[in-house]
Amino acid sequence: MTRSQGAGTLDPGAPVPRNDASPTRKPPTDGPPQARSRTARRGHGHPWLTLVAVALGVMMVGLDATVVTIANPAIAADLGASLSGLQWVTNAYLLALAVALIPAGKIADRFGRRRTFLAGVVGFAAASVLIGLSGGLGSVIFWRVVQGFAGALLQPASLAILRNTFPAERLNTAIGVWGSTLGVSIAGGPIVAGLLVEHATWESVFFLNAPLGLVALLVGLWVIRESRDEEAAGSFDLPGVALLSGALFALVWGLIKAGEAGFTDTVPLVSFAASAVLFPAFVWNELRVERPLLPLGLFRSVSLSAATGLIVLGFFAMFGTIFFITLYLQQVHGMSPVDAGVRMLPMTAVFIVASPVAGALTSRFGPRVPLMIGMAFTAAALFGLSRIGVEAPYVQLWPWFVLLGTAFGMVIVAGTEAIVGNAPAHLAGVAGGLQQTAAQVGGVLGTSVLGVLLSTRVSDVLFGRLTDAGVPGGAARQLSGQEGIVSQGVAPVPPGTPAPAAESITTGSHLAFMDGFQTSLTVAAAVAAAAIFAALLVRRGTSPVDGAAAV
């Protein structure tokens, strides 16, 4: 395709605003041709070697997504953390990540994707080491915030590098391998973390990122070709950064606090109100500035807009569900972290296979087909899991885990291609940031909303479940105030309770948890089923890849 053939188009009949694209744009380069010929080195700019470098950086983030969950109990025991303090070990990272992703994508487009990616790799690895060296919970949370900001630099830049390195006909395959790498790290994280925590220390879980970061840095310095948006020079949209960061902070903060205290609490309500004011102010700012942080012309593409919504809904259903399944395996079934990680392998490991398959399907049929299959599989798996009981044998679990892992691979790969592929190549960093923001917001939204549904249902049924299990009415009323503990799958058995009474409390508590578990997963299944229809709006990406290397 020549440069005049619709460069930067978003959808047929939907032109990009003047400040989003230019027919005279030059492809991203490392410098003048003469300079490039003098400094060319073996492997520099090679697409598949670039993919290896990017995959190593992404692997750190994937590992971090699961190893922290396994390390949390050891962190709490060693540092004397309360439940709310421990939650902030995870939430501080998610909050920093969600707030910074889109600005980080813009930074990558303006200052260079290679430079931004490598800065993120260094920052993420360094923050991981400093978390391991922390002597208190406050230090751990602080460095988790820094790690979140570094991850925000790393993730959108990684997708933008692929977008500007691979030609359109190979981009789906590259994103499939990118997703498989993420799957490998997510799948291996619980097992690796469990072994390290049990046989070494929780600090070693974070030290693991240091060698990965070093290799990613060295390979990236050698092979990744620099690219940037040549029209991004000039003033940076600082008001846009402030408004969008504030709006996302208010939204994610409200969701996190709602997960702790409910959606009717004052803090979530004030946070949501602030977000409702800041988002329109951000839109107004973007419409009037010459070089916006997030060009709203991107959303003229129906496919890109629908795919963004699907990423939110997909991560809402999947991440919320994975969170509660982990509680079910460890708290209700009493599995160790390593055992739970092994039992989750049918879900996480199949993602490794599903990602390249999704890339191949997307290449042949476009993203619509794998997105519809993925959301249909998600709905079926969640509905199936919503029917399991307290003592469900593993044979009733693993088929649904396989289906859910397959669905996750389909949705993340096809959804990512639909977002990145329908954005102009010069806005690849912004598109990558948009995809990652949608994923983070969807994950926090799923964990919070489904968590509130679960805890509300537990509160409604706990007294009845306890009395049905043989707990006397007076004792059941006293224990009814422990719904927060029961919502985690833990039975609030007082110390010194006789064995028969303890068994009754455990049975009633686990039955109440399963009532909430089933309600939450049924709602998640309904959300996934509704998302099938949104997938009908998604079409194959139409923007050419400026300056992509031949494969």
How confident is the model over 435-442, as a mean pLDDT? Answer: 80
pLDDT at residue 263, rounded to an integer: 77
* Domain coverage including residue 243: 238-292
Residue 189 pLDDT greater than 80, yes or no: no
Task: Return the DSSP state at 81.
Answer: -
Statement to judge: residues 430 and 446 lie in one domain: yes
Are 317 and 408 members of one domain?
yes
Give the integer Cα–Cα distance in Å for 129 and 123.
Answer: 10
Give the pLDDT of residue 376: 93
Identify the domain boundary among 253, 274, 292: 292
Does 32 fall in a domain? no
CB atoms within 10 A of CB 34: 8
**pLDDT for the residue 481:** 78
Same domain, residue pair 383 and 360 = yes
Whether the per-residue pLDDT at 108 is higher than 90: the answer is no
Among the three residues 255, 271, 292, which one is the final residue of a domain in this structure? 292
With a cut of 70, say whether residue 383 has pLDDT above it.
Answer: yes
Residue 25 scores a pLDDT above 70: no
CA distances from 422 to 297, 301, 310, 375, 501 (A): 11, 7, 15, 20, 60
pLDDT score for 147: 92
Q: Are residues 312 and 347 in the same domain?
A: yes
> Which pLDDT score is estimated for 348?
73
Report pLDDT digits (tens) over 30-65.
Answer: 444 344 444 456 767 678 788 888 888 888 887 776
Mean pLDDT is lowest, of 210-219, 226-235, 314-323, 515-524, for 226-235
Is 1 contained in some domain?
no
461 and 427, same domain (yes or no):
yes
Question: Does the pLDDT value for residue 182 go beyond 90?
Answer: no
- Within this chain, do residues 413 and 388 fall inside the same structural domain, yes or no? yes
**What confidence category does residue 548 fall into, taking pLDDT thresholds of 50, 70 and 90?**
very low
pLDDT at residue 230, rounded to an integer: 65
Same domain? For 100 and 213 the reply is: yes
The DSSP secondary-structure symbol of 110 reads H
User: Model pTM?
Assistant: 0.72
Using one digit for the tens of pLDDT, what is the confidence trace for 77-90? 788 766 566 667 87
Residue 37, in any domain of the structure: no
Residue 27 is assigned to a structural domain of this protein:
no
Distance CA 72, CA 221 (A): 34
Please indicate, yes or no, if residue 232 is contained in any of the structural domains.
no
11 three-state secondary structure: strand
Instruction: Name the least confident of 94-98, 181-185, 311-315, 444-448.
Output: 181-185
Same domain, 183 and 83: yes
For residue 125, the model assigns a pLDDT of: 93
In a domain, 389, yes or no: yes
Q: In this predicted model, what pLDDT tens digit does every residue of 254-272 receive, in sequence order?
A: 877 776 677 788 888 999 9
Question: Residue 395's domain is classified under what CATH number?
Answer: 1.20.1250.20
402 and 478 belong to one structural domain: yes
Higher pLDDT among residues 424 and 288, named by residue: 288
Measured distance CA(106)–CA(229) in Å, rounded: 9
Residue 9 is assigned to a structural domain of this protein: no
Q: CA-CA distance, 116 to 135, in Å (whole number)? A: 30
pLDDT tier for residue 434 given thresholds of 50, 70 and 90: confident
Range in 21-25, 158-162, 449-453 with the lowest mean pLDDT: 21-25
* pLDDT at residue 2 tops 70: no
**H helices within 164-223, ranges in order?**
168-199, 203-207, 209-223
Q: What is the mean pLDDT of residues 281-306?
A: 83
| Structural domain total, the chain | 3
Secondary-structure breakdown of the chain: helix, strand, coil percentages, each rounded to the nearest 5: 75, 0, 25
- The answer to whether residues 60 and 109 belong to one domain is yes
| Of 121, 193, 130, 112, nearest in space to 150 by CA | 121
Q: Are 335 and 479 found together in one domain? A: yes
pLDDT at 424 over 60: yes
Residue pair 61/151 in contact (Cβ under 8 Å)? The answer is yes
Q: How much is the average pLDDT of 363-383? A: 90
Residue 41 is predicted with a pLDDT of 65
Determine the Cα–Cα distance for residues 27 and 226; give it in Å rounded to an integer.
11
What pLDDT is stored for residue 384 in this prediction? 93
* 391 or 544, higher pLDDT: 391
Higher pLDDT, 35 or 123: 123
pLDDT for 326 beyond 90: no
Question: Looking at the predicted structure, is the pLDDT value of residue 466 above 50?
Answer: yes
> Residues 127-156: pLDDT tens digits?
999 998 987 888 888 999 899 899 888 877
Residues forming beta bridges with residue 11, ordered by sequence position: 14
Please tell me whether residues 286 and 366 are part of one structural domain. no
Give me the mean pLDDT over the 424-436 stretch. 74
Q: What is the tens place of the pLDDT at every residue in 406-418?
A: 888 888 888 888 8
Assigned domain for 124 exists: yes
Q: What is the mean pLDDT of the chain?
A: 79
